[in-house]
Amino acid sequence: MWLGVLVLSGAVRAESLDSCYSGANDTLVDRTHGWLSRTLCWPSRWVDGFFDDPVRGSNEPAASRVRVTAEQVWRDDNDDANDVDVDARVWLPSAERRFSLLFRNQDDERGRDAPVARELPSGERDDGFRGALRWVIDHSDAMDLDLDASVHSDLTASTRLRYRRLYPLFNETAWLRYTQRFYWRDPEGWGSRSLVEVDRPLTSTTSLRFSSEVSYTEELNEEGLGMGLFQGVNLFKRFDHRSALDLGLAVGGYSKPGVVENYRIYARYRRNVWRPWLFIEVEPFVLWPREYDYEGINGVVVRLETLFGRLKS
């Protein structure tokens, strides 16, 4: 179902026959190596398909679909919040899968983009929405290049160029994914985000991911904060084809004056319930923000997610 819309396929080249193995397969040694590569690659690819957003991430040919997520946050400092995200993607007919329309009520550069880097929703959020035309400039099993041109509900415009690439490491026992974004939004100006993720499968059901992100915006520069910095470590554990656990540690801050804005640890349990298109998540967390002198704040996030459209099995 959701496995057909992975953020990136695990192939090293577009012509590869196996998305987790790109080598020869004509001898016993090669076949053994291929089996080991697939065994080690599979947990990472499964994590991408199960935890990442199938509407937001993939440029692979797929049916049009809509994703609705209701989110509620409870914190012991009473800074509770709730949120409802609606994301839709409509493939345009007769466009050779190069163009699609996107509709969503949250900014890509501010909202959830990757399972390790997303922020907790806050009470101060933009309730507007944006519509975008996406042009897939180039796409292969190991690479994506696309361009979005957007119009926002407050009558402003934005554009974003994104490049993603997947690299095998250490004889295909680990995988590096590099994502680079350049964007412009009226009236905020230019910005960029550089994200590097390294996946190291540990077993057939467990995977470790290290993430580092550097962001730059004109707003950060004007405030004298330099660049935004993020570090994350995640341990993913698959229980079965319907449920998994993500244990995460995240650190965020700025390069000037070189401070950590917050630390966060969390356990995110995600389960497919009742129907293939319905998911529930429970995420207890502890947050140590600098504005509260790094005093621990406990909380929990509950999410209910629904997918509409054709799901691959």
pLDDT digits (tens, 9 = 90+) for 59-110: 665 567 888 899 999 999 998 888 888 888 888 876 667 898 998 886 655 4
Encode pLDDT of 21-37 as tens digits: 444 456 665 665 565 55
The domain locations on the chain are 2-309
Strands (E), the chain: 65-75, 81-91, 99-104, 130-139, 143-152, 157-169, 174-185, 189-201, 206-217, 228-240, 243-254, 259-272, 278-289, 297-309
Report how far residue 81's alpha carbon sits from residue 75's, in angstroms, rounded to the nearest whole number. Answer: 9
pTM: 0.80
Task: Kindly give, in sequence order, each residue whose CB lies less than 8 Å from that of residue 180, ignoring residues fewer than 6 positions away.
Answer: 162, 163, 164, 192, 193, 194, 195
DSSP 3-state assignment of 313? Answer: coil
Tokens of 154: 């407050």
CATH 3.40.640.10 fits 2-309, yes or no: no
Beta pairing partners, 11: none
Task: Kindly give, in sequence order, each residue whose CB lies less than 8 Å from that of residue 94, ignoring residues fewer than 6 positions away.
Answer: none
State the DSSP code for 18: B
Tokens of 184: 């412009």
How far is C-alpha 185 from the geometric centre of its chain's CA atoms?
Answer: 21
Q: What local confidence, expressed as pLDDT, does residue 308 receive?
A: 85
Encode pLDDT of 235-279 as tens digits: 999 999 999 999 999 999 999 988 899 999 999 999 999 988 899
